[in-house]
Amino acid sequence: MKSTIYDYIVIGSGIAGLSAALRLSKFGKTVMISKNSLKSGSTHYAQGGIAVALDKSDAPSLHYQDTLEAGAGLCDSEVVKVLVEEGLERVKELIDIGAEFDKKGSQFDFGQEGAHHRRRILHAKDETGKEIERALGTRLLKEPNITFLQNTMVVNLCIKNEKAVGCVVLKGSKYERLSAKATIIATGGCGQVFSHSTNPSGTTGDGIALAYDAGCLIQDMEFIQFHPTTLYTGDKKPISIFLISEAVRGEGAVLRNIKGNRFMKNYHDLRELAPRDIVSRAIVKECIKSGSNHVYLDLTQISGDLSVKFPNIYRRCLIAKIDLTKDFVPVSPAAHFLMGGIKVNEWGKSSIEGLYSTGESACLGIHGANRLASNSLLDGLVFGYRCGDYVRKNENDLNENWDVGMVFNGVNSEKLAEFQVLKYQIKEMMWKCGGIVRNQQLMQEGLDFLKSKEDCLNTEYSHIIYYELKNIFCVSKLILDFGLKRRESRGGHFREDFPETDNLNWKIHQSTGKKMTPFLN
């Protein structure tokens, strides 16, 4: 097996990984690993924008308060303070290296989204993530110490003497051993464990599953954010469902039920701009009342040219034969963002020495039980930088003398087909048992299903489909385990058998580790 030595390994190529790698590559040999192409992660598809209190009428303290309120009582106030304050400097740096955001004249054109009490969303039309990725990627390409490995999957984290010393990757059918002083997981979330998801196809919880198998503490996995407004496609089931950005509701789009009546006034004072968990559940209730599978999003009263304001959404809807200027858009919720993940501190340090995480794969407590809209890009930018900065200052030991200790087996087309079927079955089960509305019976049914399929993963196979299935299996079990144990409703976790929020007993974080005492509260 080929072996390569780096100073730093960054797994993932979204905004968090780019921010960390940009900081690290100035100080040492850095490799960035992407399972697919470098532009295949969630950052590339992020539409709405990046939240930051740059406007004169705004302040970090107001952004801080909105973040805490959206988080349903579980945000870590200290890391939220870091987010909103250091976010100002990081965004200014982003603009300095060439990121271009929309302006009105010489001033930034700030948008507004759900649960924000100020217009503070910087955007580049409805392709903000792509613009940020372009700016960071272009700057990173100028660094001589950076190496990119595309279409390469990390299949094992290697721990020696309780310290992360590197990883094993699979590229095609060949394995390679990578050693480094530190490893940073920035693989994003796990939306693809659900059959309905806005996430790109590769978002299968890989980094979280790798960390869990290595013995890391994992936290808050019950909190999944379901985005309220994704394009409803009927019987067609694309791998990734097209998201209709919350920015359109910020500009005045309204939700209507199947009869054409507005309904959000019945659920929250902020109506269409209520927190995402509330809007998603309201849509579910309206669908149940009417027997429909969707509601409508009405953009017809938004002023200005929609093809200019939201060109990506406009084009995608035209493909579906929907004209935003005169047609209602059929929408329904889908899995979107994970508030939980690998338990880390404010510098991205996990419970294993030498192993770090940042971005959506990490859980610092920034987002609590429900993320505030457009805080995800800011999270990746701020804490990716902080993680990279801490690693380059504190990780100096390199151990290249370790064995893989893995047995790999070839796989035939019949076995691959079996894996694909099981992958589909798990995703359908998770939408039913761990989706927007949960209860004990459904979650236990899901866990029983997973238990009945455990034997399918007993043998290691040399194929990306096997490893993705293995990771989906692991993360699905974590989500259901965490959800079953939290006997209340809060933020992205709603139980119809425990519909109230219980601050007396459950205003706490849950964490667990494969090689440690399960479920530490």
Residue 160's domain spans which residues?
2-223+339-394
Chain segment 341-383, per-residue pLDDT in tens: 999 999 999 999 999 999 999 999 999 999 999 999 999 999 9
CATH number at residue 347: 3.50.50.60
User: Does the pLDDT value for residue 402 go beyond 90?
Assistant: no
Mean pLDDT of 502-518: 86
Output the six-digit token pair for 386: 């902080």
CATH number at residue 461: 1.20.58.100
What pLDDT, on a 0 to 100 scale, did the predictor assign at position 425? Answer: 97
Chain segment 57-110, per-residue pLDDT in tens: 999 999 999 999 999 999 999 999 999 999 999 999 999 999 999 999 999 999
Inside any domain, residue 510: no
Inside any domain, residue 516: no
Same domain, 42 and 172: yes
Alpha-carbon span 267 to 466, nearest angstrom: 43
- Nearby residues of 386 by Cβ (< 8 Å), 6 or more positions away: 82, 86, 346, 347, 348, 358
Chain segment 457-484, per-residue pLDDT in tens: 988 888 999 999 999 999 999 999 999 9
User: Does the pLDDT value for residue 177 go beyond 80?
Assistant: yes
Inside any domain, residue 512: no
Output the six-digit token pair for 21: 């790698």
Same domain, 241 and 108: no
CA dihedral sign, ordered 169, 385, 100, 98: negative
Same domain, 443 and 385: no
Q: What percent of the chain has pLDDT over 70?
A: 97
Mean of per-residue pLDDT scores for the chain: 93
What pLDDT, on a 0 to 100 scale, did the predictor assign at position 521? Answer: 45
What pLDDT, on a 0 to 100 scale, did the predictor assign at position 94? Answer: 96
Domain end, chosen from 333, 364, 379, is at: 333
What pLDDT, on a 0 to 100 scale, did the predictor assign at position 40? Answer: 78
Same domain, 239 and 299: yes
Please tell me whether residue 253 adopts helix, strand or coil conformation. Answer: coil
Q: List Cα–Cα distances, 437 to 69, 235, 292, 482, in angstroms.
A: 21, 21, 17, 15
In three-state form (DSSP H/G/I as H, E/B as E, the rest C), the secondary structure along 294-329 is: CEEEECCCCCCCHHHHCHHHHHHHHHCCCCCCCCCE
CATH number at residue 297: 3.90.700.10
Same domain, 143 and 277: no
215: left (phi over 0), alpha (psi -120 to 50) or beta: left
Strands (DSSP E) found in 93-223: 103-104, 107-108, 121-122, 146-149, 153-160, 163-171, 174-179, 182-185, 218-219
Number of domains in the chain: 3
Same domain, 140 and 281: no
Cβ neighbourhood burial of 145 (10 Å; 0-12, 13-18, 19+): middle
Same domain, 285 and 362: no
Residue numbers annotated as active site: 276
Alpha-carbon span 429 to 434, nearest angstrom: 8
Same domain, 211 and 243: no
Inside any domain, residue 518: no
Q: φ and ψ at 515, to 5 degrees?
A: -105, 20
Mean pLDDT of 435-453: 97
Q: Which of 39-43, 189-193, 384-388, 443-447 has the lowest mean pLDDT?
A: 39-43
User: Does the pLDDT value for residue 275 go beyond 90?
Assistant: no
Q: List Cα–Cα distances, 431 to 222, 392, 401, 436, in angstroms.
A: 13, 41, 44, 8
Inside any domain, residue 112: yes
Inside any domain, residue 160: yes
What pLDDT, on a 0 to 100 scale, did the predictor assign at position 413? Answer: 87
Inside any domain, residue 29: yes
Same domain, 9 and 105: yes
Domain end, chosen from 292, 313, 333, is at: 333
pLDDT band at 208 (very low <50, low <70, confident <90, very high): very high
Same domain, 10 and 105: yes
What pLDDT, on a 0 to 100 scale, did the predictor assign at position 2? Answer: 87
What pLDDT, on a 0 to 100 scale, did the predictor assign at position 237? Answer: 61
Inside any domain, residue 186: yes
Domain end, chosen from 294, 313, 333, is at: 333
Strands of the sheet containing 329-338, edge to edge, are 224-231, 329-338, 295-298, 254-256
Same domain, 489 and 462: yes
Same domain, 120 and 82: yes
Strands (DSSP E) found in 241-294: 254-256
